[in-house]
Amino acid sequence: MLTARRAAWLVLRRPKHRNQEEQALFSRLQHHPSFRRAIELAEAFIELVRQRQGEQLDQWLARAFQCSIAPLRRFAESLNEDYAAVRAGLTLAVSNGQTEGQINRLKMIKRQMYGRAGLALLRQRFLLAG
């Protein structure tokens, strides 16, 4: 059974990683005009991200805004709301992923010990967990 989530993963998956069944399903999806347009836009955006082609973001946004598929238009609108950050993320080689990961780890430890002890125990657990 094809769900929206499975269809999305099918489109996001690199063609060389699709098995025969997935490739056949993908081909059938491409024959439907609405799906074809959505797949083209999704694949173009994936390339922007994978190849860090931030200079092509404006072209992609223009195409997405003209799309008749509402979820893709809303996605483009959300990207446009934080345009500078999205463009930087697609262009610059630097990342704050390491920082975000440490913050996430700290929050997880804090949630695990909610209501127990204070900052001294949290500090000790954070340092020992690393």
Give 25-41 pLDDT, tens digit per residue.
888 888 888 788 888 99
CA 19, CA 98: separation in Å to the nearest integer?
34
Q: How many CB atoms lie within 10 A of CB 20?
A: 7
Of 59, 20, 22, 18, residue with least CA distance to 40: 59
pLDDT digits (tens, 9 = 90+) for 9-28: 888 888 888 889 888 888 88
CB-count exposure of residue 73 (10 Å: 0-12, 13-18, 19+): middle
Distance of CA 102 to the CA centre of its chain: 20
- What is the C-alpha to C-alpha distance for residues 38 and 27, in angstroms, rounded to an integer? 14
Question: pLDDT (tens digit, 9 = 90+) per residue, 58-109?
Answer: 999 999 999 888 888 999 999 999 999 899 989 988 878 888 888 888 888 7
pLDDT at position 118 over 80? no
pLDDT at 130 over 70: no
